[in-house]
């Protein structure tokens, strides 16, 4: 084989490789839509509105750590809450995680812009013990908490004055300064 033929073969192999790599995301989107078909017209667990064709088209496959099967992420057109669907189970996806010390005590859901620099979230304790920690005013007064993105990156934020109502269990939402869903 001559030198030019060898380089042409290498270019051909590289073209095939990059062609296959470019096609994989399209294949993932196709598989996500196919898996999402099971959710078509199924009611959203949060708002009750049925998942429509638009939500199915926007579905994406997710690769979770330590999970052999992939799941899909799908957002409800009615309430904009994101869910993961895998193994026949539909579960909400938290936007951020809340830590006190090294312990994960809460999950933040449903971002809602309150004012220019404030965004509120539904705070859900990870356990009953974590709930007792979250409903202690000292955690919020003395800023003993840390908010982390899904990748474990700590984010700089603090809460507004609504933590007292949260601690008295009058609301399940807390406002955070400059904590936007795009940071997750």
* Euclidean distance between CA atoms 77 and 75, whole angstroms: 6
| Of residues 129 and 161, more confidently modeled | 129
* 118 contacts 145 by C-beta, under 8 angstroms: no
Neighbours of 168 (CB within 10 A): 10
Edge-to-edge strand ranges of the sheet holding 89-92: 60-62, 71-75, 82-86, 89-92
Dist. CA 131–CA 87, nearest whole Å: 29
Q: How does strand 96-100 pair with strand 145-148?
A: antiparallel
Per-residue pLDDT tens over the stretch 97-139: 999 988 999 999 888 888 888 898 989 899 999 989 988 888 8
* Residue showing tokens 């999970």: 67
Task: Give dist(CA 120, CA 157) in Å, integer.
Answer: 12
Residue pLDDT, tens place only, 43-92 = 888 888 888 888 887 787 766 544 445 678 888 888 777 888 877 788 77
The span from the CA of 18 to the CA of 125, in Å, is 45
pTM: 0.61
């Amino acid at each position: 084989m001559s030198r030019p033929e060898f380089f042409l073969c290498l270019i051909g192999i590289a073209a095939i490789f990059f062609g296959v790599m470019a096609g994989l995301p399209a294949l993932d989107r196709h598989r996500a839509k196919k898996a999402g078909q099971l959710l078509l017209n199924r009611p959203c667990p949060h708002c009750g509105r049925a998942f429509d064709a638009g939500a199915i088209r926007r579905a994406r496959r997710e690769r979770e750590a330590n999970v052999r099967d992939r799941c899909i992420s799908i957002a409800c057109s009615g309430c904009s809450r994101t869910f993961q669907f895998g193994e026949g189970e539909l579960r909400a996806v938290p936007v951020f995680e809340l830590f006190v010390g090294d312990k994960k005590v809460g999950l933040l859901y449903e971002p809602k812009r309150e004012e220019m620099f404030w965004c509120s979230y539904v705070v859900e304790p990870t356990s009953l013990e974590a709930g007792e920690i979250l409903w202690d005013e000292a955690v919020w007064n003395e800023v003993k908490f840390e908010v982390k993105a899904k990748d474990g990156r700590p984010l700089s934020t603090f809460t507004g004055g609504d933590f007292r109502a949260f601690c008295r269990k009058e609301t399940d939402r807390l406002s955070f300064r400059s904590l936007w869903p795009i940071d997750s």
